[in-house]
Chains A and B, each alone.
Chain A
């Protein structure tokens, strides 16, 4: 175990966070919120000293890392980044309690968007920006960012990329992990800017458009208004709806489009499944909610927005879908579990895993009927390794187990079953709002601090796809043998 390398990399992540904290610092200065600016300055100072300490004590001679180190680096980086990230909220007094602030920050970095704030509009501008900016940072990944900006070329950096990027397999798009990270971030930045420009065109103020663009790009879901996106015009709602959908797509496909390989994009089974799920859900919910919304255009817009918001695990809302019929709510709950595509900024179980599962289940059925039948699972025209398939199955079981355990842990709370289940599903899949007492118009502030810690942990588990965090806390990872 290369402990020095682990902590020196984590130190670098903290340094990057200090740099990123400059943005809310400047914002606070611009809006002359001096005390908020000071609290950001203090946080930056703390981050820099943590970096300095890591630099002082951990100078790795051996830079080789293996799969284990990659997982632990990612887990530690996320825990520490969230700890430092919640300081401005506490110091500035916007969120005075540690557990609340930690919940809020984790919810930001993991692009969940669950909030404990009942009145967002009273928050300072600096903190609001930082809250949404964490979505943007966490969306593509902190370590991917570190990889893109620091000039280290190590042979085995793929282990970090793999631990942080969601999905059953990680494909590099260019030979070097570093260049892959750069290209992904470039696509991410350009698409985010596109959202900002389009929202500005729709008459949304600059501050609001920036924050909503961050929330959309990271598929997070923190807004600036108490009523979510409902107060903005139909154009803005459509822009956000479409981009939420786009950010839920595997970013490798955008690279393929950039280099002109559109044929390969159209061959992607995951993309087709994703599109099909979205269209079917929109159709069903539109039909189901026609009576409530009144006219077809409104029903279509509301359902398209909500479907795209939930499947991409963003969690923005234009209507209170708590009041929708049970069929629509059930569809939304299923979408929560499915989540976006692998290699996107979205959370959830991932469409690609669903596709692989359904294909291998089909094969199992065939085998039951014809025991001598031999067949392989194919995806995008290529054979999928048995190892990948069994990996998906074991992920499914551990995914379900985690959800059950978390559900049991929070079940002493005095809320309805629907509230608790949806809170767990929503946090674990990084969506944001749930149903009933944690629905789109309410928030998580009523939960006890213990539950908030558990749910924060659930969000991190979901974002990092369980293994990194779980393995870090297993004693056998640390025992030398």
Chain B
């Protein structure tokens, strides 16, 4: 598929990287020659140096052959305009990054409808949602949900003294009832799908899939449940903080934002409900954090503009025994280091966006029998979880799962049928209209048929 990415900033580059791995043909546009040189040296893509809102540049980029146009430059308005122009020049699908909160859901709908923009993405809002999910389920290091929040997939780390430490999956199954599945396991650098005789060890990272009603019960019985964070401290009054606070305030969670810039503090005061405490001060200062009661909070979210600051504050919070620490780290090298040093809960806005676009691009790939609905990368990209919608022409519908010969590193983790969501057993079948959740390790799936051996 031919994809054009306009704007090669942090997010643009991550998108290019992820979509290139998906074997798409990519053309990038940026108006800075230095940036273009950097991209050309590191990725096998074509580049044009120019302004992406210019008719000539888009014409040169060959919009009539382009299936997906993604505008992720700094400015919302130029993204909207270049998507509009690209659409008029023949691009089939257009995606614009629009992150100003003044574009409300309503106005976005209107803009998308009247200008023919297929999707708008807001990295800050999506990141806020991801953090919100984590705060609801603080024992997890990553929480993703499938259609209508029917299923959840949760990454957990087995800590010292955990109930399940040293059990094999078979023993685990006997000891703990409940409709759940341990799907992927990461031990050190190695990622694999565990078998019945695999023993869980301290330090392992596991992915648990369960329906949303079950998840709390399951985590409780496995000894993972931690109470929902009711008292959150947010460092840095960024856009993400703004969205997150809005969501948290609705759920009667008390939030305290620490922000350096006085003017930004005033802006936040204006737009956020008065129940939110806004402190004007430097989040890097330990005195201020102590004064504001960092040791008593349920959770600390580090959202300042600098990755390094976020990491350092998180370590400080760790020393203060804050139960849940979430840090925003955008540089993948840094997040790797931070994770190795013990920070387990790291969110990266650009990775969230890249995942979203990879899923979007895969869904565009017309395949027989099924369509990709949701896609998440698990264990830092070592595995992925996909949700497929089964169509009428799916080859293997109505065959019991135990009779299907699946590929090695593939697992069917859940089926959503109408309002019902369940973890399938050997006698269950896939019907057309179902939504099937599949976990795959080390292989990119484009259609449901690909999970079968020999396809």
The chain A residues found within 8 Å of chain B, CB to CB, are 67, 153-159, 172-179, 382, 385
Contact A174 B25 (CB under 8 A): yes
Main secondary structure of the interface of B (DSSP, over half): mixed
- Decide if B45 is an interface residue (CB 8 Å cutoff): yes
The chain B residues found within 8 Å of chain A, CB to CB, are 2, 20, 23, 25-27, 33, 40-46, 49
Please name all residues of chain A whose beta carbon is closer than 8 Å to the beta carbon of B23 when the two chains form the complex.
153
Contact B25 A156 (CB under 8 A): no
Query: Nearest-CB distance from B68 to chain A (Å)?
Result: 13
Given the known A-B contacts A155-B20, A385-B33, are A175 and B46 also in contact in the complex, defined by CB atoms under 8 Å? yes
Q: Which residue on chain A has the smallest CB distance to residue B28? A: A175
Given the known A-B contacts A175-B25, A176-B25, are A155 and B44 also in contact in the complex, defined by CB atoms under 8 Å? yes
Please name all residues of chain B whose beta carbon is closer than 8 Å to the beta carbon of A159 when the two chains form the complex.
41
Contact B33 A156 (CB under 8 A): no
12 further A-B contacts with Cβ under 8 Å, apart from A175-B2, A176-B44, are A153-B44, A155-B20, A155-B42, A157-B44, A158-B40, A172-B46, A174-B25, A175-B44, A175-B46, A177-B44, A178-B44, A385-B33
Please name all residues of chain B whose beta carbon is closer than 8 Å to the beta carbon of A177 when the two chains form the complex.
44
Contact B40 A175 (CB under 8 A): no
Which among A153, A154, A178 has the highest number of chain B CB atoms within 10 Å?
A153
Contact A156 B27 (CB under 8 A): no
Q: How many angstroms from the CA of A382 to the CA of B57 in the assembled complex?
A: 12
Query: Nearest-CB distance from B2 to chain A (Å)?
Result: 8
The 9 closest A-B pairs by CB, nearest first: A175-B46, A175-B25, A155-B43, A175-B45, A172-B46, A177-B44, A155-B44, A175-B26, A176-B44
Which among A155, A174, A179, A385 has the highest number of chain B CB atoms within 10 Å?
A155
Query: Nearest-CB distance from B16 to chain A (Å)?
Result: 10
Contact A154 B44 (CB under 8 A): yes
Q: Per a CB cutoff under 8 Å, which of B27, B33, B41 touches A158?
A: B41
Q: How many angstroms from the CA of A463 to the CA of B126 in the assembled complex?
A: 53
Q: Which residue on chain B has the smallest CB distance to residue A173? A: B46
Please name all residues of chain A whose beta carbon is closer than 8 Å to the beta carbon of B46 when the two chains form the complex.
172-175
Contact A67 B41 (CB under 8 A): yes
- Across chains A and B, the number of contacting residue pairs, with CB separation under 8 Å, is 36
Please name all residues of chain A whose beta carbon is closer than 8 Å to the beta carbon of B2 when the two chains form the complex.
175
Contact B26 A156 (CB under 8 A): no
Q: Per a CB cutoff under 8 Å, which of A67, A158, A382, A385 touches B44?
A: A158
Q: How many angstroms from the CA of A159 to the CA of B43 in the assembled complex?
A: 10
Q: Per a CB cutoff under 8 Å, which of A67, A155, A175, A179 touches B27?
A: A175
Would you list 22 pairs from A and B whose C-beta atoms are within 8 A, ordered by A residue? A67-B41, A153-B23, A153-B44, A155-B42, A155-B43, A156-B41, A156-B43, A156-B44, A158-B40, A158-B41, A158-B44, A172-B46, A173-B46, A174-B46, A175-B2, A175-B27, A175-B44, A175-B46, A176-B25, A176-B45, A179-B25, A382-B49
Which among A176, A177, A178 has the highest number of chain B CB atoms within 10 Å?
A176
Q: How many angstroms from the CA of A6 to the CA of B25 in the assembled complex?
A: 26
Query: Nearest-CB distance from A255 to chain B (Å)?
Result: 12
Q: Which residue on chain B has the smallest CB distance to residue A161? A: B44
Query: Nearest-CB distance from A319 to chain B (Å)?
Result: 45
Q: How many angstroms from the CA of A350 to the CA of B10 in the assembled complex?
A: 37
Query: Nearest-CB distance from A429 to chain B (Å)?
Result: 28
Please name all residues of chain B whose beta carbon is closer than 8 Å to the beta carbon of A154 when the two chains form the complex.
44
Please name all residues of chain A whose beta carbon is closer than 8 Å to the beta carbon of B49 when the two chains form the complex.
382
Please name all residues of chain B whose beta carbon is closer than 8 Å to the beta carbon of A175 when the two chains form the complex.
2, 25-27, 44-46
Q: How many angstroms from the CA of A424 to the CA of B33 in the assembled complex?
A: 38
Q: How many angstroms from the CA of A179 to the CA of B2 in the assembled complex?
A: 13
Query: Nearest-CB distance from B168 to chain A (Å)?
Result: 32
Contact B45 A156 (CB under 8 A): no
Please name all residues of chain A whose beta carbon is closer than 8 Å to the beta carbon of B43 when the two chains form the complex.
155-156
Q: How many angstroms from the CA of A154 to the CA of B46 in the assembled complex?
A: 14
Q: Which residue on chain B has the smallest CB distance to residue A178? A: B44
Please name all residues of chain B whose beta carbon is closer than 8 Å to the beta carbon of A178 when the two chains form the complex.
44
Q: Which residue on chain A has the smallest CB distance to residue B17? A: A155
Q: Which residue on chain B has the smallest CB distance to residue A176? A: B44
Please name all residues of chain A whose beta carbon is closer than 8 Å to the beta carbon of B44 when the two chains form the complex.
153-158, 175-178
Q: How many angstroms from the CA of A176 to the CA of B26 in the assembled complex?
A: 8
Q: Which residue on chain B has the smallest CB distance to residue A157? A: B44
Q: How many angstroms from the CA of A316 to the CA of B406 in the assembled complex?
A: 64
Query: Nearest-CB distance from A9 to chain B (Å)?
Result: 15
Please name all residues of chain B whose beta carbon is closer than 8 Å to the beta carbon of A179 when the two chains form the complex.
25
Q: How many angstroms from the CA of A325 to the CA of B25 in the assembled complex?
A: 55
Query: Nearest-CB distance from B389 to chain A (Å)?
Result: 30
Please name all residues of chain B whose beta carbon is closer than 8 Å to the beta carbon of A173 when the two chains form the complex.
46
Q: How many angstroms from the CA of A155 to the CA of B20 in the assembled complex?
A: 9
Q: Which residue on chain B has the smallest CB distance to residue A180? A: B46
Query: Nearest-CB distance from B248 to chain A (Å)?
Result: 40
Please name all residues of chain B whose beta carbon is closer than 8 Å to the beta carbon of A155 when the two chains form the complex.
20, 42-44
Please name all residues of chain A whose beta carbon is closer than 8 Å to the beta carbon of B33 when the two chains form the complex.
385
Query: Nearest-CB distance from A175 to chain B (Å)?
Result: 4
Q: How many angstroms from the CA of A158 to the CA of B41 in the assembled complex?
A: 7
Which among A154, A172, A173, A178 has the highest number of chain B CB atoms within 10 Å?
A172
Q: Which residue on chain A has the smallest CB distance to residue B46? A: A175
Query: Nearest-CB distance from A158 to chain B (Å)?
Result: 6
Please name all residues of chain B whose beta carbon is closer than 8 Å to the beta carbon of A382 when the two chains form the complex.
49
Q: How many angstroms from the CA of A67 to the CA of B45 in the assembled complex?
A: 16
Please name all residues of chain B whose beta carbon is closer than 8 Å to the beta carbon of A156 when the two chains form the complex.
41-44
Q: Which residue on chain B has the smallest CB distance to residue A67? A: B41
Query: Nearest-CB distance from A181 to chain B (Å)?
Result: 11
